[in-house]
Amino acid sequence: MKLFTVLTLCLVFVASLSGCISQQLDDDEQVPPSQYEWEDDGELVIATYDVYGLTDELINEFENQSGYQVSLLKLDDAGSVLDHLLQHQGVQVADLAIGLDNTYLQTALDYNVLWEHSAELTNLSESSLLPYNGTYAAPFDQGYVCLNYDTNIVDGENYSVPLSLWDLTSEEWRGKVAIPSPETSSPGRAFMSATTDYFAHDSDNVSDWTDWWNAMSANDVIVTTGWSEAYETHYSGGYGEWTEGYVGDAHIVVSYCHSPGVESWSNGNWTKSAALNLPRASFHQVEYATAIEGGNLAAASAFIEYLLSPAINSKMPIENYMYSVLEQSDLPEEGGYRFNSVVPQQPANVSTTDIAENMETWLSQWNTAMVAE
C-alpha cells in the first residue's frame, strides 16, 4: 500500500507543478528598446531554415570580422521559424531569425516575439520597404512568387498554356499542379494571398478565391509542406529531375518568377521552365532578418548590418537565388539569368494591413475549401 501512496503523492506533485507552469503564459506587453534586457555572450544563434544564402563562407567571414561565434538552429520552413518563436515566447533560445516573410511577419509582431534591431541600414530599395518599413525587421532579399511551367510538356500541343487560374481546374491538369501549403510554406502563403486578389478582380462575380481552391482540391492538386518538395520532387521542369527522390508528376508549380532565370544561369543559359505571367497571380515577397526578444541584440544587429552590406547583399541573386534589396540592384545578365526571369507587370495588390487583418481567416477559409467535397 505504501507504494500506492507514493504514486498518488507523485501524481499530485506533477499536477501541481504543471499548474504552476501554466501561469507563466501571460501575454507580454511590448517593451520599448530602452528597457530591453540582454547580455552579450559572444554567441549568435540564428533560427532559420534552408536559406541558401547562409553559406559557410558568409558565416565564417562574419565570425572573423565580428568575433561572434555563430550557430544555426535549422528548422523545416518559414512556418516552423515562426512556430519556434511563438512556442518559445518569453524563453527564446535563438537571437536572430532569418526567413520570415511579409506574410508571416505580422503574426510575429502581434505576439511581441521580436525586438527592434539597432543595425544602421542605408541604400535599401523602395520596393523592399514597401510591405514593412520599421526597425523590427530588416528585409534581406525579395522576389515575386508565381506559377512556373515545364515548356517541354506545356507546349501548346500536349498541354495548353493556362490563360487563367480557372484553367488549372480542368481535367487536363488533374494531379499535375504542385503548390506548397500556405499553412507551412512562405511561397505557399504568398500564392494563396495572391489568389484572394486575383479572384476579387476577375470577371466572375459568382465565385471567389475559395471556390477555386475547392475546385483545385477536387482536381487532386499536390499540396506539399515546403517549396523544395514541390519544386524538387514533383516539378518536371526544374533541376529536381537530376536529383535522387525525383517524382516529376507536376508540370506546373508555385515558385518564383525568376526561378527559370536561376535554372538557366546554373545550366549554362538553358532552361525548359518558364514563369506564367498572369495578372494578379503573382505576389511580391520580401524576406526578413529579425532580432528575437531576449536574445543577443548586438550580435543580431551586427549580423543584419553585415547581411545588408553592399558586398554581401549584392550577391543575393547568385548566393541565395533571390533579388537583392539594395537600391539599383538587378539580376545578373550572365547565363540568361535576367533574360529568363519575369518581372510581373501587375502583381497581386494585397496590402500588409490586409494580410495582418485577414491571414488567420484566410487560412481557415483555405482549409475549409480544401476539405469540402
| Residue number, 159 or 164, with CB nearest to other proteins | 159
Residue 126 CB contacts under 8 Å (≥ 6 apart), including other chains? 327
CB of residue 21 to other proteins, shortest distance in Å: 5
Least distance in angstroms from the C-beta of 294 to other proteins: 9
- In the complex with other proteins, which residue's Cβ is closer, 156 or 245? 245
Question: By C-beta, is 15 or 206 nearer to other proteins?
Answer: 15
Minimal CA–CA distance to 143: which of 24, 373, 317, 333?
Answer: 317
Instruction: Give the residue from 129, 130, 125, 148 showing the smallest Cα distance to 138.
Output: 129
Question: Contact, 34 vs 8, CB < 8 A?
Answer: no
Residue closer to other proteins (CB basis): 225 or 358: 225
Among 96, 46, 28, CA closest to 291: 96
Minimum CB distance to other proteins smaller for 162 or for 240: 240
Cβ contacts of residue 96 below 8 Å, gap of 6+? 44, 45, 46, 47, 289, 290, 291, 292, 295, 299, 300, 303, 304
Output 2 or 206, the one with its CB closest to other proteins: 2
Residues found in the chain: 373
Distances (CA, A) of 129 to 20, 45, 108, 137: 43, 26, 18, 10
Residue whose C-alpha is closest to residue 83's, from 184, 152, 217: 184
Q: What is the smallest separation between the CB atom of 248 and other proteins, expressed in angstroms?
A: 6
Nearest to 95 by CA among 287, 288, 303, 312: 303
The minimum distance between CB 37 and other proteins, in angstroms, equals 14
